Amino acid sequence: MKYAGFFVNLDRDGERRAKMELQLATMGLTEVYQRFPAAEGNARNFPNPHIKNGEIGAFTSYYLLLKENLGRRLPLHIIEDDILLARCMTPTIHSIIDAGLFETYDIIYTDTQIPTSNVYYKTYKTLFDKITKRDAAGKVTEATFQLVALRDGKFGTASSLLIGPRSIAKLHDLYEAELRSGAQLPVDLFVWREVTRGTLKAACLFPFITSLRLEHSIETTIAERYDQLSILARDIARVSFFVDRDLNLIRDYLNKYVPLADDPHLQILMHILGFSFTDKFVDI
């Protein structure tokens, strides 16, 4: 293989490990990806005045994985243990490597959060429609993948990222310095900060070749917590740009967990917003 894959998994999350190992086996990737044991909380006792113990654990896990792979001459694909992998994932990653894109970028994400914004949604929807072909049910039948540069936009994720071989030590050193000084941000937002500063160069593959599992997003949603429902709505939108998306399943989640109020005026405004995503709309 042209890259080394790792899935990060806590020792106590045996069910997630089993699901990921089954998915990898089904795709014939057992020899490519290996489990990396995640750090449980602040196992290394880094100074931690700013973020939660679970967040410092995730930060530590990625740092230790990079440390173990210093000197590796292959790109790394680091994934969390609760994501879905597209059928076309491996050949698409190979095409990224063959195109020499790690000469330009330190990190290439295979999916990312999309800010809940009419501007962002219209931009991504327009690009999605331009570079994919879909059947009557909305299933993607063909895609021409592109990279979206991330420096000028808000993003954040650690669920699936490719790291170029020349950037492993660079990222390791940045992580180590941040952890030893007391991490100010969770690892995904730390990377976003460094990208906006120009310290790192990052892009995201589009459409996405990995995806959140919506059932796991539901597990973290608390009934009547509207801030949590907003996070879930954002996750659902993110999944809609997955190359192996299931629109019927996505609609079911929307209708069940984030339904709109029964308000005729709201429905009018939503219709207009939907129209604003089309080629017929002119912003005057």
Residue 16: CATH number of its domain: 3.90.550
Helix, strand, coil percentages (3-state) for the chain, rounded to 5, are 45, 15, 40
Residue 176 domain flag: yes
Strand runs (DSSP E) across the chain, as ranges? 4-9, 33-37, 76-80, 83-85, 107-109, 132-134, 140-143, 146-149, 160-163, 202-206, 210-212
**Contacts for 52 with CB less than 8 Å, ≥ 6 apart:** none
Residue 240 domain flag: yes
Residue 107 domain flag: yes
For residues 204 and 167, the answer to whether their CB atoms sit within 8 Å is: no
- Residue type, position 108, single letter: I
Helix, strand, or coil (residue 194): helix
Q: Which domain holds residue 47?
A: 4-275
- Per-residue pLDDT tens over the stretch 191-202: 999 999 999 999
Residue 281 domain flag: no
Residue 98 domain flag: yes
Q: For the chain, give the percent of residues with pLDDT over 70.
A: 97
Residue 168 domain flag: yes
Residue 132 domain flag: yes
Quick one: angle between helices 247-257 and 226-239, nearest 10? 170
Residue 271 domain flag: yes
Q: How many domains does the chain divide into?
A: 1
- Per-residue pLDDT tens over the stretch 84-118: 999 999 999 999 999 999 999 999 999 999 888 88
